[in-house]
Structure 1
């Protein structure tokens, strides 16, 4: 059965109409006149109608040929677009990355954008989330590269960085003078929550949870508003209306760990890029402190 939508047959038909001659159309398409005549004949057989008035000089489409012509041009255009799409490798190789929310910074985004621009074949799929969830998904094979916060790095860690923590309160609210002291924290199981409780108990301070936020931004906002104290990474408070406190008990640094698989070609470059961003971020942790009551 002849397919009348075969682009080869339609291309011959359009070339004959555009040139007005079988010979010229054959030359344009790099074929013999007999071949292009055969292809037109096959198309006309499939259509069940003559499509070219061969008696006219120059030849021209019949009424049925005119009806087909516009559709033939669109089909050929779509055929060319599909061929170009398949020839373009952009976005055909995916790399999945997992990041904690506070590490999806403008600096990280700029580095990832630069990598994507220089490697159009690579499609980056970046997911932010809680470190415990990201770590579990990496172990299940969902990520090629992941950055997580944890108590200690695993043996297959590519790089790890200590993340200094500090007690912070709103600049204009002396919430640290209250007894018991109000706390702003993450939900149970969240980072910094248990270290916060242990540090206060070691310091002999009574406390209660005044605000629980499921994201870093909500915890920062509540702390800025004076709802309570919070134990936070020193690297995330730059530019916030917060002051660092002392005398509430020290918490051991968290560890920011980088994990990546060995079997993906662009991973080495992404690992180096991520290391550079993390090293810069950890070196920018603010150190200004304020005494607590």
Structure 2
């Protein structure tokens, strides 16, 4: 059995006749002619197979079938209008999945991301912070669209590169550098800087031990501040509770690392726009560090 299909414009004409109390007034509301409205109501009656309006009276009278159609027609038109209203203000949402190291999970980065969100309200940002090795793994598995990572220079293809300035740090209140062996505070084996820290200390002919390991930058910062050992940190992560070490202690300048931004060649234009905004932020930061 073939199912009936009722056009909304037929139901709208039927409702207009009922609400306006006649065909003439309904035609005016619909900006149509009386004959057109009458034809639409007749087509609706033909579709449902029932007479819906008694035309023998000067007033509009509904038949029993007309009363049933009236109730459902109001619901259908209401749902139709709600759908159009919802779509009229809707934006196509583009999800951009960004991965950043922990020391970029606040401050200037979040302010830049907020600016990006205001500029592109159709974008839903999903930001993940973590070790660069974990971010690279997630990116390679397709779980991230754009990553900002720390890496040894030119070790991975990138769409933008900037130098990563580092600093040797010790506790301002409880220095640990003169201890023997020297206690070291490092990221885990997969983390950046670990090998450089160990190699630099060994080049001094000093004994060393790993006193604290953490995958959290805040954990590293706190451990150094509390006197658990020395470490190598991004310059932006050096706080007032730290003192910087360097050539006076025989420690070398570490300039083997860079910040790299990576996205796929066929990336969405909004991913590329976010990448460009992050590059601008990083360049300003690099310029400020040089002052």
The interval holding the TM-score normalised by the smaller chain is: 0.7 to 0.9
Give a deviation string over 1:111-145, Cα, whole Å, max 9, x none.
23323322344444433332123224434554443
Q: Count residues in correspondence.
A: 282
Distance 1:63 1:231 in 2: 85
Whole-Å Cα distance in 2 between the matches of residues 206 and 64 of structure 1? 96
Q: 1:87 to 1:181 in 2, by over 3 A?
A: same
2:209 aligned partner: 208
Which residue among 240, 253, 270 is the counterpart of 2:274?
270
Structure 1 residue 195 and structure 2 residue 196: aligned?
yes
1:277: how far off?
0.8
Q: Secondary structure at the match of 1:126?
A: strand
- For residues 249-264 of structure 1, what are the structure 2 equivalents within 5 Å? 249-250=251-252, 252-253=254-255, 254-263=257-266, 264=268
The question of whether the paired residues in 2 share the 8 Å contact of 1:97 and 1:143 is answered with: yes
**Mapped contact 2:45–2:52 kept (Cα < 8 A):** no
- 1:242 match: 242
Equivalents in 1 of 2:222, 2:68: separation in Å? 66
CA separation of 1:25 and 1:157: change in aligned 2, threshold 3 A = same
Which 5+ residue runs of structure 2 have no aligned equivalent?
none
Aligned to 2:21: 20
What is the CA-CA distance between 1:21 and the residue it aligns to?
A: 2.5
Q: Structure 1 residues 89 and 152 mapped into 2: Cα distance closer, same or farther (>3 Å)?
A: farther
Q: CA 1:25/1:164 → structure 2, altered by over 3 Å: closer, same or farther?
A: same
TM-score when normalising by structure 1: 0.77
Give ranges in structure 1 of 5+ residues lacking alignment: 288-293
Q: Which residue of 1 aligns with 2:187?
A: 186
RMSD: 3.5
Alignment CA distance shift 1:42-1:208 (3 Å): farther
Q: Pairwise mapping of residues 1-293 of structure 1 onto structure 2 (< 5 A)? A: 1-2=3-4, 7-31=8-32, 32-38=36-42, 40-41=44-45, 45=48, 59=60, 73=74, 75-86=76-87, 90-154=91-155, 156-238=157-239, 240-246=240-246, 247=249, 249-250=251-252, 252-253=254-255, 254-263=257-266, 264-285=268-289
> 1:291 matched to which residue of 2?
none
Change in CA separation of 1:89 and 1:232 when aligned onto 2, cut-off 3 Å: same
Q: CA deviation at 1:164?
A: 1.8
Q: SS of the residue aligned with 1:176?
A: coil
State the alpha-carbon separation in 2 of the partners of residues 272 and 262 from structure 1: 14
Secondary structure of the structure 2 residue equivalent to 1:36: helix
Per the TM alignment, residue 258 of structure 1 is displaced from its structure 2 partner at its CA by: 1.8
Q: 2:13–2:37: 8 Å Cα contact kept in structure 1?
A: no
